[in-house]
């Protein structure tokens, strides 16, 4: 199983280069031909049909997981179930800098007001308009929560690549991504002040 963890929808450049990078990981073609969709997996989960989830991995598969999408808590439970059922899990963690993430989602919202963006993204855009530092801290929190989730997951391999960069890294460059260092006091304040918002990506 391959999990494409992402802080955004894939851009065209990322998609074009992704196949080459997957070959370097020696991922077999049959895995890439079986795309797992969370919409179908949620139906299986809600119907308590765990067996169906396991059968979807009989020939391997890949899943695109948007870290800032809707229903994170349910999706992460399903993702963990998939990981437990798979013989081997490789995560390609595609990360996006804060400024780029804001710019891209602002463009999506302005160009297509009817586009489907999550409530977390909408709230982050509003927060960034009035308090950019608070929005950056919330983005850092979401990033760190996802990495913590991966650290606790049964993974065979975990590779990180920054959007529009040329190679994999063991760790993302936090400064280049615009992430900030949160002290314990700042983290505690953030979780209280923006509890409703951060619960969407926890």
Structural domain for 9, as ranges: 2-201
Helix extents (H) in the chain: 12-24, 29-32, 38-46, 50-55, 72-85, 98-111, 119-130, 132-151, 184-193, 195-198
The SS3 call for residue 191 is: helix
Domain count, the chain: 1
pLDDT in tens, 93-116: 888 899 999 998 999 888 887 777
User: How do residues 135-191 score in pLDDT, each as one tens digit?
Assistant: 999 999 999 999 898 888 888 888 787 776 655 555 678 888 899 999 999 999 999
CA distance 147 to 55: 28
Backbone angles phi, psi at 188, to 5 degrees: -60, -45
pLDDT tens digits, 47-80: 665 566 666 666 677 777 888 888 888 878 878 8
């Amino acid at each position: 199983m391959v999990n494409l963890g992402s802080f955004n929808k894939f851009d065209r450049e990322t998609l074009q280069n992704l196949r080459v990078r997957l070959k370097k990981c020696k991922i077999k073609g049959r895995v890439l031909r079986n795309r797992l969709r969370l919409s179908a997996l949620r139906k299986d989960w809600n119907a308590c049909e765990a067996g169906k989830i396991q059968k979807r991995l009989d020939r391997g598969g890949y899943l695109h997981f948007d870290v800032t999408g809707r229903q994170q808590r349910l999706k992460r439970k399903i993702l963990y179930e998939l990981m437990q059922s798979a013989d081997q899990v490789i995560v390609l963690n595609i990360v996006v800098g804060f400024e780029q993430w804001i710019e891209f989602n602002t463009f999506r919202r302005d160009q297509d007001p009817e586009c489907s963006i999550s409530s977390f993204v909408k709230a982050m855009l509003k927060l960034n308009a009035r308090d950019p530092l608070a929005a950056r801290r919330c983005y850092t929190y979401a990033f760190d929560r996802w990495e913590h989730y991966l650290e606790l997951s049964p993974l065979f391999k975990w590779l990180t690549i920054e959007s529009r960069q040329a190679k994999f890294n063991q760790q993302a460059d936090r400064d280049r991504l615009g992430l900030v260092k949160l002290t314990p006091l700042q983290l505690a304040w953030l979780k209280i002040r923006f509890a409703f918002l951060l619960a969407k990506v926890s």
